[in-house]
Structure 1
């Protein structure tokens, strides 16, 4: 029977789609990169998504963030993201975390639940904490390096952190991971040299923060206000999303298995079992919502004092 994922199944096969249906992926950061990562995962049929971001949509997000529209300014990004995900795939189970992930609150998140973690965080200490914990738990993770202050969307590369060049953020992360004895990290980074911003105090968020609510971090308190555009962060997000999809299927050994090879194939059986388990969970949640017994599992963790 045809569905919204039929064209993807024609390319990758039903066992691959079952693998994605039965997978749970966490995306940390719903900004210019993370929003497009989530879009790829939702449109590829990933069955369970955990999304992390504490911000509301700001007018200055509209130039690059998928969830940022004039109609969504002031709304929490995780709420807008959930609505869009469900408009793509109603059977996707979405868990929302309205939080700014930090070493101080990292214990609130059980990373062992996830088949894959995507790091689209722009704070070095938070990135390192997430990477360190995933490494300890042996949870696959891919990290986005710098996408700001750049114009060339064709300059992105998928590689190990040790092979990066030109990217200032990657350089910092690379050095710190060596001190943590973490030998490898899959990243998407750009080989384009970052451009210097055109200084204009009249429109700089550093001097004129227009964030929509008092519960957001003020731009005037941030160390760096990046310049950006519509296509570079989006390209990074699309690449990362694709890598996650391919890695999940590759690990499950279910890429492009022909129907005549289904019988007695352990990988096919395992994928079918995971997809069936997801269906049971979704139906239980749908039934609870219909009966009025569903309790929203959104997690809200406020920023530490003085952050």
Structure 2
């Protein structure tokens, strides 16, 4: 197809074919997830699973690929599915408006087509941990975005194994909780930049304390999409999925 002509120069027919056969799940369609889903659609990924619970709000317009004056109040998954169809009508989309919780993650994800890759683009700790556990239990590759809020410099973004991260407060919490749940091998994109501290003293809500530049979340989403596109097309090796390890007591009991 002419729309993929420039991709073909770099990926070849085989690489494009691999992307066409791939299924990618994007969880969260905020600043990171919407940019990620858009890039995946433009790359020719054949099937996209899009999950989010929210509607488009005016405060989203500064950073989210699906947020326009014309889409205010509309369900994000529906807006994103329409965008994907406009970009690549051949892409199959499974769009679900759903609020994931630790109690329903397994049932929700099990009911959908099995993905070749899961991209966690949400910012809630309990949900991120449940998604990581599901991927580890099902041997599905996972790439998880960490905090983009209150950062200014995209040059300080980097991919890493979760256990090797530093500076980012969100990675610290996720790292400790994964250890408690015996989840290892989680790959993340995070920032080594110390977060700014905007807002008035005592600010508690996201709107009062979490600033977001127009470029930081979309760059994170594009970086995640780029990594996954290179891997699914065969330009880079696929990673090992996250996994669950047994406690010392369980290992001894199994002997």
Give, in angstroms, the shift of residue 250 of structure 1: 3.0
Larger Rg: 1
* 2:3 counterpart SS class: coil
Give, in angstroms, the shift of residue 39 of structure 1: 1.1
Work out whether residues 197 and 209 of structure 2, in 8 Å CA contact, stay in contact via their aligned partners in 1: no
The CA deviation string for residues 210-260 of structure 1, in whole angstroms up to 9 with x for no partner, is xxxxxxxxx79xxx8521011111111110001111121239979xxxxxx
* 2:214 counterpart SS class: coil
Work out whether residues 23 and 116 of structure 2, in 8 Å CA contact, stay in contact via their aligned partners in 1: yes
Give me the whole-angstrom Cα distance separating, in 1, the residues matched to 2:118 and 2:90: 21
RMSD: 2.2
Corresponding position of 2:90: 91
Corresponding position of 1:160: 161
Give me the whole-angstrom Cα distance separating, in 2, the residues matched to 1:227 and 1:26: 27
Asked if 1:232 corresponds to 2:216, the answer is yes
Corresponding position of 2:230: 246
Tell me the TM-score normalised to structure 1 length: 0.73
Give me the whole-angstrom Cα distance separating, in 2, the residues matched to 1:182 and 1:125: 14
Corresponding position of 2:31: 32
Work out whether residues 26 and 49 of structure 1, in 8 Å CA contact, stay in contact via their aligned partners in 2: yes
Give me the whole-angstrom Cα distance separating, in 1, the residues matched to 2:113 and 2:86: 28
Give me the whole-angstrom Cα distance separating, in 2, the residues matched to 1:13 and 1:109: 32
* 1:5 counterpart SS class: helix
**4+ residue segments displaced more than 6 Å:** 251-254
Give me the whole-angstrom Cα distance separating, in 2, the residues matched to 1:112 and 1:3: 29
Corresponding position of 1:186: 187
Mark the runs of 5 or more structure 2 residues left unpaired by the alignment. 239-255
Work out whether residues 19 and 252 of structure 1, in 8 Å CA contact, stay in contact via their aligned partners in 2: no
Mark the runs of 5 or more structure 1 residues left unpaired by the alignment. 207-218, 255-307
Tell me: CA distance 1:108–1:28, structure 2 relative to 1, closer, same or farther (3 Å): same
The size of the alignment, in residue pairs, is 236
